[in-house]
Structure formats: C-alpha cells, structure tokens
Amino acid sequence: MRADENKAPAVIDDNKCSPQISIPNPEPEPEFHNFMQLARELRLVIWDLAMRDEPYHQPNGIGMRYFIDPIALREYVKVGDDPISPNFLPAICSVSEATKEEIIAVVIEGSKFMVASIKDNAFLQTFLKAAPGRLELCRDLSFDFFSRFPYGYEKNSDLELAVLCNGLRTIKLTFHFEPLTYLVMESEDNMTLSRRARSPNELLENFKLQRLLDCRSLKNITIEQTSQHVMEASRAANDLGELIKTKFSQLSPPQHKASTTCLTPIPNVQVPVRIGAGNPAAVAVFGSICNGFKSPDAARYNAACSGDVLCDSTLSGFLDGVG
C-alpha cells in the first residue's frame, strides 16, 4: 500500500477558490415630484386631507374644526374682519400665491356658512366675489335668523345670495314660531288668545320663498322652527315644506337637445324643530323625505317619493345619484 493512500481526501473550500462578489442593493431614493405638476384633482384632495378636522379658533375664542363645524360669519363681522382675506382661512393659504386660490376653493366647497344678518350676507358676498369661480363652489348655507326678514321688501337678500351660489346643494332656513303663526281671540269674555298656523302660501309670499325654485342644484332643504311647544308653528312649517316640495315637482324638466330623459331633481325637504336653545343638533324631523326625481309622469313621480318620517341629528342625507 502506498503511503499516500492513507491520507484523508482534500477538502476544497469553494469560498476560497471562488471568492463571492458583493453586489450592493441600496433602497431606491425617493423621487421628488413637483407638486404643481400633479393633476389638479389630486392636489385638491391633498389640500382637503391637510385641513379636514384641523382645529382653529373663532375671534370669540371658541374652538372649531374645518369642514366639521359651520363658519359663523357674525363672529368675524363683529370684530371688523376683512372679507377679502378673512381670518377663518387656514394658515396654509399664505404658503404660496400659486396655491392660495386652490386652497380657498377647497375651503369654500367643504364648509357650511352660517349667515345671521344682512351684514353677514354682505360679508360673505364680498368674500365669494373676490375671485372668479368662488360663488359656484359654495355648497352649504345656513340662515339661522331667516324669519327676521322684514315684510314689504321686494327681494329677500338671503335667497338672493342662495341664487347667486348656483352650485348650492344644501340650505337651512330657521324660523321663530311667531312669524309662522298669528293670534286669534278665542273668547271675548276672558280675552283668551291662541295661535293659528299661517297658510303655506302666505309664508311663501311673505318670505319670497318662490325664489328657492331658481336654486336648481339644491338637494337638501331644511325648514327649522325653534319651539317644540307651539304645535301650530310645527304645522305651519310642515305645510310650508310640503308646498315647497310640490313647487319643485311642478318644474318643467330641462330641455336638452341630446336627451329628453333628463329630469329635474326634487330636493329633500326636512322640517325639524330645534330642541333646546343653542342645541340645533337635537332635532326631530316632522317632514317627509322625497327621494325621487321630477317626472312628467305623475305615477313615476309619486312612486319615487317616500313618506317616511326621519329622526336625523345631523340633518344630512342627499339624494343618491343626483349629480
């Protein structure tokens, strides 16, 4: 036997024979995209996300949140705020002149504006007319002292503002119980007085509510009255809501050359009563909600309407599918 036969076989270390080559695999560096080169629709979504539910303070110190709480214009009017550049605009409006109007557009479209006086009305009009396109973006108006409109005027300034905002989707008209009713003497013996509901046609005329029919983009109308104890006021408000709904149902469908099937949408009409002073969120809805469209065929129209009574603390809910 040869001596080399007793030797153990050689072990070949592949690592030593063929050294591995280390190939780095770094993470890709983020690529910066010019914000203004993004599609405008995407930029608007980004601005909305940046502001939604963000806190801010009214001039009276009360904390509010963007797109959640209404913008109470009277608080800004009281302190003499500038309607061209009001203080309810978020700080990011000052980031760049190139993006300022885009951000303001998102604020207008996402906010509810509460108008409590003729001064508030003028303030909001000045703000909305300060740049092209703002009026069309206003979606939600709340007139919390609507019934203070003085009789005898040819036009109702609140409704004229609503018509100017031709993209308006939601409007709330708040009535005190007194303008909805009148006093009658029950007995001459004891001079007892009681309240009676005013007719819906009288209220329509007194407050120039026929003008609502020119708000062709409306989806939701709320007629709120402020006393749960005066049933005649509730009756008057409910009858008024039904009359307004009927008036919308009688509008002729728009004439479109391309199609004869386009129908005029009938807004939801809600008639809540405010439960407790300063608590507009607690409401009971007495009115019926119409979920249909205007049709020349009365049967189709009636079938599209529901008579359900709702209780809705948010006073929201739009017609599904209405553009």
- Read off the tokens for 267: 């807004």
pTM exceeding 0.75: no
Residue 286 · residue 273 · CB < 8 Å: yes
User: What kind and span of H or E run contains 300?
Assistant: helix 298-304
Tokens matching residue 235: 């009756």
Give the number of other CB atoms < 10 A from CB of residue 122.
16
pLDDT by residue for the chain (323 residues), tens digit each? 555 556 555 555 555 555 566 666 777 777 767 888 889 999 999 999 999 999 999 999 999 999 999 999 999 999 999 999 999 999 999 888 989 999 999 999 999 999 999 999 999 999 999 999 999 999 999 999 999 887 778 899 999 999 999 999 999 999 999 999 999 987 777 778 899 999 999 999 999 999 999 998 999 999 999 887 889 999 999 999 999 999 998 886 654 333 323 344 678 888 877 644 333 332 323 233 333 333 333 333 333 333 222 222 222 332 333 33
Across 21-144, the runs of DSSP E, i.e. the strands, are 55-57, 63-65, 71-72, 112-115, 140-143
CB neighbours of 153 closer than 8 A, spacing ≥ 6?
A: 208
CA distances to 10, 24, 30 from 27, in Å = 42, 10, 9
Closest CA relative to residue 272, chosen from 240, 305, 206, 226:
226
